[in-house]
Amino acid sequence: MTEDAAPLRRRLYGRSKGKALRQHQTELMTGLLPRLALDPSSPLPLRPGRETRLEIGFGGGEHLIEAAAREPEVDFFGCEPFVNGMAKLLSRIEERGLANIRLHQGDAAEVLDRLPDASLSRVYLFYPDPWPKRRHRKRRFVSPENLDRLARVMRPGAELRFATDIDDYAAWTLARLRACDAFRWRAETAQDWLEPWHGWTQTKYEAKAMAAGRRPVYLTFVRQAD
């Protein structure tokens, strides 16, 4: 999709920086990040013969780093606008010496609009900002516009994995995905959305949510063949 043809994008995140970074984190942001950064203005680095997956809003990178370490034959793209989350993941990449992660500090839609058709085998969307105030709900990532983006870049049979601890956002997501002909909800029993996926890595956010008494749901949607 060309830049002129790309749908209009809304900012889907709030502040992008928290507490001050430590010195080494700052060095990684200026040294390592440019080497791993995706450039949405150029063709994205899809390697022939390799599966590519995308994590949208990876937070501190707990899931992304473990997934990439477990499957070194798979390439992972990670998008995260929050500076502190990006710095944490860079530290983990350096520690683990991984070479199959590329990063985008910003809106995931910028990457989606530059990916070729049917190029992703899986997309992760875990604990996105729920934007609980009614006037802000248009900022939620799950929207008809973004589902169209995902449908274009996901190959038939590819999975969209979604997790949230916010009941309203779970219902919102189910309503929009079930209204989208490009995706099928895979669940057959209640346990299918109450238990995480095999090999799941619990994030720091999820641990806090469960400690506060909120029960996550894990939704899997499959890209249908056109």
Catalytic site residues? 129
Describe the strand order of the beta sheet including 101-104 as a list of residue ranges. Answer: 101-104, 75-79, 52-56, 120-126, 154-164, 217-223, 183-185
Contact 131, 105 (CB under 8 A): no
Look up tokens 């929207």; give the residue: 143
Q: How many CB atoms lie within 10 A of CB 95?
A: 9
Q: Please list, in sequence order, all residues whose beta carbon lies within 8 angstroms of the beta carbon of residue 145, skipping any fewer than 6 positions away.
A: 7
- Among 25, 83, 77, 87, smallest CA distance to 52 is for 77
